[in-house]
Amino acid sequence: LAKTTQPISMDSYEGQEVNITCSHNNIATNDYITWYQQFPSQGPRFIIQGYKTKVTNEVASLFIPADRKSSTLSLPRVSLSDTAVYYCLVGGSNDYKLSFGAGTTVTVRA
Amino acid sequence: NAGVTQTPKFQVLKTGQSMTLQCAQDMNHEYMSWYRQDPGMGLRLIHYSVGAGITDQGEVPNGYNVSRSTTEDFPLRLLSAAPSQTSVYFCASSYLGTGGFDEQFFGPGTRLTVL
């Protein structure tokens, strides 16, 4: 499994864009990049998944450069309710032992 | 759909006691897994299953057993509880995608305290 590195914490203010970068230097050809969000006392929730270039949904965007050795989760115009821990995972269809690292704690202030 | 359900929500055990954490899903997912999350840390995989009758160990399997007799249910058994097993336990399920690993759906968690 490709190991991931992401910042421990990030602070932001309401209305700003938050970008969280995840490094995964040894990503394999078949690996996808997936991001989850976790609020306190809840299980993680899927946000977005991508393989290359850019993926966008109603919640976030995921930017993946051509070499795929990193990826950036972009949260547009955050609100207080976006305060959570965000996890970056890398794996393919045969990677059953998915690992959630410590994640990035994003704190949004008024 | 109820999604992924877990029971109980809270449990207090004494050292040496055994118990079973229940997990069920109604989405016909092949993959099910158990994670534990200690305070301020990420989730660590305990055991997983890719279908009925098939289970395997994750990152931290010691002290836990699992079985998968049906697609829907994936119980986690603590054989002899220890204070180090005090944690929040999450069950998750997903389809086994043909490309990337499909979206995992998580249950609400079971908060376990071992005295």
Report mean pLDDT in 10-residue bins for chain B, 115 residues.
93 97 96 92 92 94 97 97 97 81 91 97
pLDDT at A28 over 60: yes
End-to-end CA distance of chain B: 36
Residues paired with residue B87 on neighbouring β-strands, in sequence order? B112
Listed by number, the residues of chain A in 73-92 with a beta carbon closer than 8 Å to a beta carbon of chain B are 87, 89, 91-92
Q: Which residues of B touch A92 (CB under 8 A)?
A: 99-101
Closest CA to A66 of A56, A77, A53, A75: A53
Listed by number, the residues of chain A in 11-70 with a beta carbon closer than 8 Å to a beta carbon of chain B are 30-34, 36, 41-46, 49, 51
pLDDT at A110 over 60: yes
The two beta strands, B43-51 and B31-37, are antiparallel
Query: What's the CA gap between B12 and B9, in Å, rounded?
Result: 11
Between A71 and B95, where is the model more confident?
A71
Provide the pLDDT confidence category of residue A2 given band limits of 50, 70 and 90: low
Most B-contacting residue of A22, A100, A104 (CB-CB within 10 A), to test interface: A100
Residues paired with residue A45 on neighbouring β-strands, in sequence order? A37
Query: What's the CA gap between B7 and A108, in Å, rounded?
Result: 33
Give residue-wise pLDDT tens across range B74-85.
999 999 999 999
pLDDT at A102: 85
The two three-digit tokens of residue A57, written as one number? 């949904």
pLDDT at B100: 62
Kindly give, in sequence order, each residue whose CB lies less than 8 Å from that of residue A58, ignoring residues fewer than 6 positions away. Answer: none
